[in-house]
């Protein structure tokens, strides 16, 4: 009987701790991402993009880190950088980004990038 109580408590604790995950990304400088002959400078915020000369938003790329080994936010950006070049832009900012987490285990990352001129 004590084993059942202990197992039940462990399952509840594991479930609750898995739901309580989060992360913090510090705002830093823009990073340049390359893929083949495609090179895009990605700013972390819209205000950084405005400070660096954004005049017109051209396209939005929604992507993920699926089908790659790197499931970080950077992995999601790298996985979708060619789509930014298909829009005809060399600059973008991150509109939103998050990483799935189930039971405390990191999953696929998702990003929304806005390409601008």
| Domain-wise residue ranges, the chain | 24-116
Q: Of residues 4 and 54, which shows the higher confidence score?
A: 54
Q: How many angstroms separate the Cα of 2 from the Cα of each of 5, 10, 13, 14?
A: 5, 12, 16, 18
pLDDT tens track for 64-107:
999 888 888 999 999 999 999 999 999 999 999 998 887 777 78
Q: Pairing mode, if any, of strands 91-102 and 57-64?
A: unpaired
Residue 1 has pLDDT above 50, yes or no: yes
Structure tokens at 87: 């829009």
pLDDT tens track for 27-53:
678 999 998 899 999 999 999 999 999
Residue 20 has pLDDT above 50, yes or no: no
Share of the chain residues as helix, strand and coil, in percent rounded to the nearest 5 = 30, 35, 30
Query: Given 3.40.50.300, 3.30.1540.10, 3.30.110.70, 1.10.357.10, which CATH number is that of 24-116?
Result: 3.30.110.70
């Amino acid at each position: 009987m004590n084993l059942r109580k202990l197992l039940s408590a462990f399952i509840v604790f594991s479930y609750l701790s898995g739901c309580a995950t989060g992360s913090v990304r510090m705002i830093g400088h823009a990073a340049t991402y390359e893929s083949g002959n495609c090179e895009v400078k990605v700013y972390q915020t819209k205000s950084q993009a405005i400070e660096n000369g954004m005049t017109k938003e051209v396209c939005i790329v929604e992507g993920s880190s699926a089908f790659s080994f790197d499931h970080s936010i950077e992995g999601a950006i790298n996985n979708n950088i060619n789509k930014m070049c298909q829009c005809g832009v060399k600059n973008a900012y991150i509109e939103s980004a998050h990483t799935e987490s189930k039971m405390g285990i990191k999953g696929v990352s998702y990003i929304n990038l806005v390409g601008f001129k």
